[in-house]
Amino acid sequence: MPGAPDRDSGPRLTPGEEARTLLAATNVATLATLSDDGAPWGSLVAVAALGDGAPVLCLSRLAEHGRNLKRDPRASLVVAEEGRPANPLAAGRVTLAGRARRPDDPDALAAARAVYLAAVPEAAAYVDFADFSLWVLTVERARWVGGYGSMASCSAAEYAASAPDPIVPAAGGAVAHLNADHADALLVIAQELGGRPDATVARCRRIDRHGLDLELDTPEGHGVARVAFATELTAPAELRAASVELARRARAHADAGRDGV
């Protein structure tokens, strides 16, 4: 099994931030509800999120999951990383478990409707149909898995107080660009700043506001490294300069090593 990233290599997203970031990046999830005999029932759903991260669903009362929630509000929602890796268990995912309720005052209903339509524009065709209802999942527990060996739970309070990372959803292009055009820089970064001088190939797995997750080939097999930015990013526009700074710092480190400094 691939080794887990070193958790001491600089700041990382908290489990609550990981969970919020996954939900913010998608509009599809898998809902688990209870059938009339108490058996678990999974179904694909479109999803949005309120400002506190509470997931919003729009379900037909005629559909099995809609009937299930009406009978028993207990539910969990699995949100998986978009553009999943070839190895399914290397993907980030989170289970949000709690209770679903229909918003009970007009303001709450309007807020749920607004975020749902923003995330799922196609729902304009049916959101107001009599047999469809908006549901809000009050998250009581979140269980995040970041891939092999990287997992943590967080409480309802931690989840609600967290915010999505501002960089992850916008960094897909930067990740692809680094991997396509700057494999040499990534390798030096892994070797000099990631504590993996044995790396022979480095690919960028993800970028968040604190730094880069790298996947490595090494003589001993698959490896991972974590490299922190000099300063935390606050906006995607800072990605380019921060990546260039990392590459410069790594090359300076390598030169200093070669010069025996």
Least Å distance, CB 105 to a second copy, is 26
- In the bound state with a second copy, the residue whose beta carbon lies nearer, of 147 and 211, is 147
Least Å distance, CB 197 to a second copy, is 24
Least Å distance, CB 211 to a second copy, is 25
- In the bound state with a second copy, the residue whose beta carbon lies nearer, of 149 and 257, is 149
Q: How far apart are CA 89 and CA 50, in angstroms?
A: 28
Residue 50: CB atoms within 10 A of its CB come to: 18
- In the bound state with a second copy, the residue whose beta carbon lies nearer, of 82 and 245, is 82
Among 22, 17, 12, which residue's Cα sits nearest to residue 161?
17
Q: How far apart are CA 89 and CA 3, in angstroms?
A: 13
- In the bound state with a second copy, the residue whose beta carbon lies nearer, of 58 and 242, is 58
Least Å distance, CB 42 to a second copy, is 4
CA 56 to chain centroid: 17
Residues at the site binding a second copy, with contacts judged by CB under 8 A? 1, 27-28, 30-35, 38-46, 64, 74-78, 80, 84, 87-91, 93, 95, 97, 120, 122, 125-126, 143, 145
Let me know: does 93 contact 145? Beta carbons within 8 Å: yes
Positions of E strands within the chain: 28-34, 40-46, 48-49, 55-60, 74-80, 93-101, 132-145, 151-155, 201-208, 211-218, 221-228
Strands 201-208, 151-155: parallel, antiparallel or unpaired by DSSP?
unpaired
Least Å distance, CB 71 to a second copy, is 12
- In the bound state with a second copy, the residue whose beta carbon lies nearer, of 34 and 161, is 34
